[in-house]
Chains A and B, each alone.
Chain A
């Protein structure tokens, strides 16, 4: 299974492009045409905007009252309060976090008081390629991290089986757990398993005229992978097939194996979104926390098109995943990573 996990596809997106600068300039150039140049489009890519409420880093030290993190090139001290909630597979006391663990912290706006801490959290979303007992080989698709190994924690197996009754090759899986060396130790289902096979996702309803100004559905998150860990952005499910995310037939043929589903060939998914490109800006609103942000499209989220699920964090969302946010963006918008999703709306900006 480990040997098979090394198999990986390639795709043109932010982290793999030799010239990500051209993506970051697109909003600016677009504004030049439409006659309203401003600095907002440049701020879009600021990884440390004022008012940021999340930190991601490695634990250097932790005591009952203070946690010290090593972030990119600096140290960050955050105060732990009795209200701080820490998660490592399940809710744990903050002081039990270990040195060396990668954590993401949400703190109060303008204050260094940690509200929630997630340690070693990871997520695998994709198609099951092979299943042996509690160990799964999952294909995340050509635009993500390729093959991933998932081991289901023994005590969580029954809970995951309730939401994912078909742990068989060809079916979809989406689980959250602890990132270990070379695999994910799954602790919780992130959604309910779609009843269809990965290559049979339902088609979107037909729409005439123009698409609505905003779309509602589910916003989920993904691990950083090769992206900068503190990147604020989203993997967009409907990148322009002519310029970004899609693959040529030759590449598909080379990787054609049983149960491997190319999400790009799976149709538009069950929600129709306008085609955009890496570098486009969209406004994402968390309908549960009422927080919103204008975020850049940073990569291809075609795998999200395979899921026609709903989020039930606050009411029941319409079917379909409209945004696959970076982990940091998800936390900034008030989402709890262990929940897996929040009800969201998404609107194009700038046009």
Chain B
């Protein structure tokens, strides 16, 4: 008798957990669909085009890429909003069932499309989350799609969402949601891409920095203050860039000789290193002046060392 009661209690608890698991599928699917829409929109705005670079649209002729992408986007957005709108008491019944069945159809179609994409374009990503989904479709993406399809099936017939009756039930719901998200994260190649982007620091070699900013940094530097009075003009006669360094050349006069003062400004937004050299433009020799005693070999670009050069050492 005690055994029977215990089993019955366990069954009741198991059913409650299963019910809670079913309940969370609707908001989870809606959030994932909305996340996909936001990522796709971001990509479209960035690329100024709705036609994606990757994803199942690659299976269609080029002229259909844009319309197919728009249909997919609108479908996902409509279903995400529909799932949210019919998750509660409002829209319960037939509207909720129709929306959830359409979600099942969407994920079923997606699974088929991904399978086809994997066979025909093994280099293409699924495009599920815009340009984050650039990794070629593999078993993880396929499994995730199957899991979401199963979640959509489970959501059909689920009752309207309501507040948990107790703190314990709320914890169960939160735990189940977190667990499912973890499983989805493991199955998502996009997570690696997100981690790369979060930790991304643009290499200085490709960093875009306005000339005005480099010149402003130059004019606040110690080498500029040392050579300022020797310059004929305050505007550079030539400015160019090589990798992490921007160079600015100013005509100058040092010890009654025409020279060219060359500043190299490291391309860093704040407090950049500034180096300086003086080229003997006069005298008709066209030769560089003797090497500067204090100047050391340039440090690796990753660890620039500031160098100050007294004018007296130049000539």
Query: Using a CB–CB distance below 8 Å, which chain A residues touch chain B?
Result: 22, 26, 28-37, 166, 195-197, 199-200, 202-203, 206-211, 238, 240-244, 268, 272-280, 348, 350-351
B249 within 8 Å of A (CB atoms): yes
Majority SS at the chain A contact face: loop
Q: Within 8 Å CB of A195, what residues of B? A: 62
Do A35 and B247 touch across chains, with their CB atoms under 8 A apart?
no
Structural contact, A34 and B203, CB atoms closer than 8 A? no
Asked if A35 and B295 make an inter-chain contact with CB atoms under 8 angstroms apart, the answer reads yes
B257 near A: Cβ within 8 Å?
no
Please tell me which one of the listed residues A30, A35, A208, A279 contacts residue B292 in the complex, with CB atoms under 8 A apart. Answer: A35
Contact with A along B242-279 (1 / 0, CB 8 A): 11110101000000000010111000000000011111
**In the complex with contacts A200-B47, A275-B206, A26-B302 CB distance below 8 A:** no
Binding stretch for chain A, among B25-33, B71-79, B95-103, B192-200: B192-200
Q: Closest B-chain residue to A240, C-beta based?
A: B241
B275 touches A34 (CB 8 A): yes
Which residues of chain A have C-beta atoms less than 8 A from B245's C-beta? 351
On whether the beta carbons of A26 and B53 are closer than 8 Å, the reply is no
Report, as a range, how many residues of chain B touch the other chain: 35 or more
- Chain A residues with CB under 8 A of B203: 207-211, 272, 274
User: Chain A residue with minimal CB distance to B197?
Assistant: A206
Distance in angstroms from A39 CB to nearest chain B CB is: 9
| Min distance, Cβ A208 to any Cβ of chain B, angstroms | 5
The answer, yes or no, to whether B238 is at the interface (CB within 8 Å) is yes
Cα distance A192–B95 when bound, in Å? 51
* B275→A33 contact, CB < 8 A: yes
Residues of A within 8 A of B199 (CB): 208
Partner of A280, one of B237, B242, B289: B242
> Can you spell out 6 A-B residue pairs with CB atoms less than 8 angstroms apart?
A22-B238, A30-B264, A242-B211, A243-B241, A272-B203, A351-B242
Contacts A200-B47, A276-B241; A210 near B302 (Cβ below 8 A):
yes
Chain B residues within 8 Å of A22, by CB = 237-238
Given the known A-B contacts A29-B249, A32-B288, A35-B297, are A274 and B201 also in contact in the complex, defined by CB atoms under 8 Å? no
Is B240 a contact of A243 with CB atoms below 8 Å?
A: yes
